[in-house]
Amino acid sequence: MDALRVFIAVDIPPFAREKIAEIQNGFKALKLDVAWVQPGNIHLTLKFLGNVDPRRIVEIKGRLKAVAERSPGFRATLGEVGVFPGADRPRVLWVGLDNPDGRLAALQKSVEEELALAGFPPEPRKFSPHLTFGRIKSPKGKAELRNALDGHLETPSAPIDVSSVKLYKSQLTPKGSIYTVLEEFALAGAGRNEG
């Protein structure tokens, strides 16, 4: 049985994708050396599991169901635009996701802890909620990038209701990644929509 490349994520609504696409288009005008993420593929990763034996998917689903049943839905908003690891060595372009009440961080921590019980090691880096919209391939245009980032310190947006987490399968193709939802888990107090 071939391993499945899987991750756990929060989806974002169409209006947030459109806003990120607008931001993305502004950066595209800079002629940077960037692999752009298709707006339809933009999501907030809570945990990347990597290549997993398909027989473990049932257990992973059970763990995510447990997380969802004890995690309340919440609201978040798009935040600032930034780069990882920093402006001196930019590799990833992203828009932050803000949630002042801490429920987003609590959800991610709960996912980490539950999956650790299934033998998946916790992510060593501190959780930094972000939506990747480009992966920088070379330092070409670094000065222009820095100037553009200074102009995007705030990204006003309507509230994003986070009501579920999704388990995704990722297939790598020459034209980019194809994501398929294996199952959706409604957070406590939200309607259930399993696929």
DSSP type of residue 56: G
Based on the residue annotation, tell me whether 43 is a catalytic residue of this protein: yes
Residues 6+ positions from 74 with CB-CB distance below 8 Å: 99, 101, 103, 104, 107, 161, 162, 187
Q: Which of 19, 47, 63, 130 is an active site residue? A: 130
Based on the residue annotation, tell me whether 130 is a catalytic residue of this protein: yes
Q: Is 95:130 a contact under the CB 8 Å cutoff?
A: yes
| Pairwise CA distance, residues 24 & 18, whole Å | 10
Q: Which of 19, 43, 47, 166 is an active site residue? A: 43
Q: Give the residue numbers annotated as catalytic, written as ranges.
A: 43, 130
